[in-house]
Chains A and B, each alone.
Chain A
Amino acid sequence: DAKTTQPTSMDCAEGRAANLPCNHSTISGNEYVYWYRQIHSQGPQYIIHGLKNNETNEMASLIITEDRKSSTLILPHATLRDTAVYYCIVTSRIMDSNYQLIWGAGTKLIIKP
């Protein structure tokens, strides 16, 4: 089972910041938070990841709470092309025999004109 909880769907107005929450209350010390998105019918796309510090790249910002039990992905100026399903995944970076990314149902983000 996925180690994360995300809302099923969200709306956001074009040009506004989209804030996507994720709860991961059972995260352990060596586990990272990864975000991917999947635009309709395409393969998933890596967005960003973090351990405990906030992270920013050209696509998004990731805010992780101090206790690491939740995080928020921020798309600063959402466009219609950001309409997609967004997946929050918690995983260790250590390869072991049971390694795999566990994908939940994600949040369907709809950007409205």
Chain B
Amino acid sequence: DAGITQSPRHKVTETGTPVTLRCHQTENHRYMYWYRQDPGHGLRLIHYSYGVKDTDKGEVSDGYSVSRSKTEDFLLTLESATSSQTSVYFCAISGTRGYNEQFFGPGTRLTVL
């Protein structure tokens, strides 16, 4: 399995608080992604990165920001969490075998009360 970890794995927070999720890889892959998964929806891309300090928006980027200061870390920040951001968040990486062949982390379950 690809070396991808996510932290925290579970988090409960209150509306209006800032939240940062971390994705860490040991594969030195160029591309990193953040998805959310909700019941009744497939995975939806939030943001992705194609290199250090190079990021772009995905389908559902409103309310989220990202940063990538090192190849191995991709941070997802909810500046002011809302209940609609309650979801399971997956990080993915891709690289040497093409960016469509993505390897996923174990996920973070976030609950915003």
Contacts and interface: CB of A to CB of B under 8 A. Distances in A.
Interface of A: 2, 32, 34, 41-46, 49, 87, 91, 93, 95, 97, 99-106
Interface of B: 40, 42-45, 48, 50, 56, 58-59, 90, 92, 98-107
Nearest to B102: A46
Given A44-B90, A93-B100, A101-B102, 14 more contacts: A32-B100, A34-B100, A42-B107, A43-B105, A43-B106, A44-B92, A46-B102, A95-B99, A99-B48, A99-B99, A100-B48, A101-B43, A101-B100, A105-B42
B88 to A, nearest CB: 8
Contacts, number: 51
A78 to B, nearest CB: 22
A106 B42 CA distance: 8
Nearest to A91: B100
Contacts of B101: 34, 46, 49
Question: Which of A41, A99, A104 has the most CB atoms of chain B within a 10 A radius of its CB?
Answer: A99
A104 B42 CA distance: 5
A52 B1 CA distance: 28
Question: Which of A32, A101, A102 has the most CB atoms of chain B within a 10 A radius of its CB?
Answer: A101
